[in-house]
Structure 1
Amino acid sequence: MVNDHFADAVAKHAGVAANVQAELGHHGLVLSPESPNTRSKARIMAQRDVDHVGETYRCEWHAKKEPNRNRVHFSLPDQRLGGRILIGIFVDHLDTE
C-alpha cells in the first residue's frame, strides 16, 4: 500500500504530513514522519540514512504495524528514483533519544 499510494498522497497534499497520514489512513495504513524531537538530533536522524547506488536517502517516514516494533521506514518520493520511494530495512528499533 505504501508503494501504491504514498508518492501520490505526498504530491496531492504538498507534503503536509497530517493530510498524507489522513489519506493513507483510509487505506488502513498508520504512518508518520519522525517526530520533531527525533528530527532535531542529527546523530539519531543519520541512523535513517540509506545508501543506494552511490546516493544517500533519508528514510524518516515509517509505517507502524505495532507501536514499538515492526516498522517499515521509507524515503519521500525522490526524482533521483524517478519519483519513487526507497524502502529502508532496519533490523533493530532506531534510536529516538
Structure 2
Amino acid sequence: MTRWMCGIDGDTATFDRVEDLMTHQAAEHDRIECKVCGTVVPDGYFAIKHAFEEHSRAEYVRAYEASAAEVRRREEIKEEIEEAADIREVVNRLDESR
C-alpha cells in the first residue's frame, strides 16, 4: 500500500489514505498566499491545484522562480492525488471541522 507523505516544510508525517494527507495539510499547516494573485489557500495539494488551474505555467514560473522540473513535479503530484483521492470527502471533512 502506498503511504502518502506530507512534505510541507520538512514534515515527514505519512498517511495510508490520501484523503487523510490532504485533510492534514489543509488543517495542520499555515495557509499560504499565492505569489501570482494574492489569494490565500491551504498549503500542499490545494495550493498546487490553485496555481495550475488559476494561472498559466508562465505566470507560475515567473512568480515562484520555478524550474521546468519543479513545475512538472507539482503537476505530477496534482495528477497522482486527483487519481487517488475522493476530493468531496476531503472538502466535507474540512467543512465539518470549521
TM-score of the two chains, using structure 2 as the length reference: 0.30
Question: 1 or 2, which has the higher strand percentage?
Answer: 1
| Structure that is richer in helix per residue | 2
